[in-house]
Structure 1
Amino acid sequence: MVICDWLINLERQEKVVETIYSHEDLLKMMDQLLKEKTRFDWDQFYLNRDRNVPFFSNQPDENLVEYFDKGLFVPGSKVLELGCGPGRNAVFFAEKGCHVDAVDSSEESLKWGKERAKESGLTINFIHKNIFELAIDEGSYDIVFDSGCFHHIAPHRRGTYNNLVKRALKTDGLFGITCFLENGKYGGSDITDWDVYRFWSLKGGLGFTDQKLRDIFKDLKEIEIRNMRQTDSMNGVFAEEGFLTAIFKYYKI
């Protein structure tokens, strides 16, 4: 009798999970199907910290540093970082006196980020969550920043991502992004959006061009789109070829 009840409950749970009642249910289904095919584990990726992965270094993106140098980003701002990884950019924001909410779905990467913040004597609010499950009050942030998250977002989630950015930003708020350049050195697949679902794969991360970013973020005002400038690593910044950087401003209607 107990086993029978368990099977009935399991069947009900499966029906609830796999029944589509809304657009959000459809998005979650596609998320899950992609995840099942990929089987990539971000916690395992971040577990071995000694691997030769360029963005494991505790250095901020060169474009992020430049945004502060040019006065586009202002010290003391309230910042939401999407897909913060081991916290290298979050640490830089905090060093500038910013209040930082840094989000990532990998517990292992956040553990690393917390260690870096503690070593630097900084306070950063690390949040272990899928970015699409965040509860954000409208107009909460001066800056939304993403380095390395967007190119792992599937095409069916771009609308959700765009809405998240716009909901988070204050009027005149700024959105900065670093993503794979199409056919770049470290990734940046040039497959079509339709091919993502033909292959059920992002091929390690999607690549973008200037025009693709303009089209995707057409509701935002473009300030600058350019390739990341490669510099000597001794300069203390993450600066590698094969990445595209951009900064946009959001004007609420």
Structure 2
Amino acid sequence: MDILELKKMANDIRQRDLRAVFEAGAGHIGGEMSVTDLLTALYFRILNVDPKNPTDPKRDRFILSKGHAALALYVTLSKRGFIDPEEISTFLKPHSRLNGHPNRNKVPGVETNTGPLGHGLPIAVGMAKAAKLSGDTWRTVVITGDGEMQEGSNWEAIMAAAQFGLDNLTLIIDHNRLQQGARLADTNNIAPLPPKLEAFGWAVEEINGNDMEEICAALDASKVVPGKPRCIVAHTNKGNGISFMSDNVAWHHKVPDADQYKQAMAELEEAVS
């Protein structure tokens, strides 16, 4: 897809995500809106994956470590052909495969279960190291939240990745400055993130994580630095694309009422008209 097509797809994903949250009466819509552009670029431009063969040994691996944003991943997977788009309507319903956090044993295209924060990056380091040991060229990409980077397990993984020279690993930090109930700056402020990752031996780039051109440029394979894992600090807005949700901590897992849903959907529809 070209940039305009990617922007349109991201908007489609946001609309479907919004409707699913409204219908289910639950979800983590703020963080889903902030990460949607990143997911869209990965699945429709960057990752070497095949929905017809989701366990291909040569596929790229992607882990959504901020697993509470699972719905955005499910919608993206449905648009990419991994699951039936109609299945999105079952989100959080009894016996649905589409739980509040991704489950590898149930959903094609999900590489590992996530939910407890701080697990995705350590697992990704193991995947990237396995590729190196096997002489394979597939890449591993993981998205964490910025609040999630307060977890000590991430920093142990960061040290290990640098020690092993995992230049086939990319960490994307969804830096929307908000976590559940508070701003990052008011809890355990780990910003600025770039100098910390650089001090551990990573190659680091900062981008606007809601700008499709910047995302695609940063994720291009040409940006790999030999011998160094990469970190992309993606500055995003929680609730991006919806005026009253944007940069608003209340929308971590709030559900829109009927009037709010109507306004939000109108704004998303207007954005592509």
Q: Higher strand proportion, which one?
A: 1
Q: Which interval holds the TM-score relative to the shorter structure?
A: 0.3 to 0.5
Q: Higher helix proportion, which one?
A: 2
TM-score (norm 2): 0.41
| Larger Rg, first or second structure (1 or 2) | 1
Q: Which has the higher contact order (CA 8 A, sep 6+)?
A: 2
